[in-house]
Amino acid sequence: MLLKSPIGLLNPLRYAGIPFKMPITRLSSKAPVLSCKQEPQILEAVPHQVSEIKTEVSGSEFQVFSRKKRVKREAVEEQLADSNGDGISGLPDIEDFTFQKGNATSSTKGKSKTISPAQPTGVGVVSTLKRGKSKATSPAKPTVAGVVSTLKRENITLGSLASSEPPENWEKVHKEIRHMRSSEDAPVDSVGCEKAGSSLPPKERRFAVLAGTLLSSQTKDHVTHGAVQRLLENGLLDPYSIEKADEETIKKLIHPVGFYTTKARNLKKVSNICIVKYNGDIPSSLEELLELPGIGPKIAHLVLHIAWNDVQGICVDTHVHRICNRLGWVSRAGTDQKTKSPEETREALQKWLPKEEWVSINPLLVGFGQTICTPLRPKCGVCKINSLCPSAFKEAPSPSSKSKKSSHVK
Domain with residue 211: its CATH number is 1.10.340.30
Does residue 233 share a domain with residue 297?
yes
366 within domain boundaries: yes
End position of a domain, from candidates 281, 308, 335: 308
- Helix extents (H) in 257-360: 260-278, 286-290, 297-308, 318-327, 342-349
**317 in Cβ contact with 311 (< 8 Å):** no
Residue 18 lies in a domain: yes
Query: Exposure of 113 by Cβ count < 10 A (0-12 exposed, 13-18 middle, 19+ buried)?
Result: middle
Residues 304 and 322 in one domain: no
Which sign, positive or negative, has the C-alpha torsion 232, 233, 239, 242? negative
Whether residues 388 and 293 fall in one domain: no
- Does residue 136 lie within any of the structural domains? no
Say yes or no: 360 and 218 in one domain. no
Task: Give domain status of residue 113, yes or no.
Answer: no
pLDDT, one tens digit for every residue, the chain (410 residues): 444 545 555 555 555 555 555 555 655 555 444 444 444 444 444 444 444 444 444 444 445 444 555 545 555 454 544 444 444 334 333 233 332 334 444 444 444 444 444 444 444 433 443 444 444 444 444 444 444 444 444 444 434 444 578 999 999 999 999 999 998 899 998 888 778 888 899 999 999 999 999 999 889 999 999 999 999 999 999 999 999 999 999 999 999 999 999 999 999 999 999 999 999 999 999 999 999 999 999 999 999 999 999 999 999 999 999 999 999 999 998 898 999 999 999 999 999 999 999 999 999 999 999 999 999 999 999 999 999 999 999 875 555 544 444 444 44
Judgement on whether residues 228 and 292 belong to the same structural domain of the protein: yes
Q: Are 284 and 310 in contact (CB under 8 A)?
A: yes
- 174 and 269 fall within a common domain: no
> Residue 63 carries which DSSP code?
E
Give the list of residues 6+ apart from residue 101 with CB closer than 8 angstroms, or none. Answer: 117
Same domain, 177 and 324: yes
Rounded Cα distance between 237 and 297, Å, is 23
Residues carrying an active site annotation: 298
Residue length, the chain? 410
- Residues 242 and 117: their CA atoms lie apart, in Å, by 69
- Whether 145 is in a domain gets the answer no
Are 274 and 299 part of one and the same domain?
yes
Identify whether 387 is part of a domain. Answer: yes
What one-character DSSP code corresponds to residue 207?
H
When divided into structural domains, the chain yields a total of 3
Task: State the alpha helices, DSSP H only, in 32-186.
Answer: 73-83, 123-131, 144-153, 170-182
104-108 and 50-57: which strand pairing? unpaired
Q: Is residue 161 part of a domain?
A: no
Shared domain check, 277 and 216: yes
* Domain that includes residue 61, residue range: 7-37+46-67
**104-112: long-range contacts (C-beta < 8 A, 24 or more apart)?**
110/74, 110/78, 111/74, 112/74, 112/77, 112/78, 112/81
Question: Does the residue 244 lie in any domain?
Answer: yes
What CATH number has the domain bearing residue 383?
Answer: 1.10.1670.10
Given 273, 308, 343, the domain boundary residue is 308
pTM recorded for the entire structure: 0.58
Q: Are residues 226 and 299 in the same domain?
A: yes
Same domain for 243 and 295, yes or no, is yes
Same domain, 175 and 321: yes
Cα–Cα distance for residue pair 99/124, rounded to 1 Å: 12
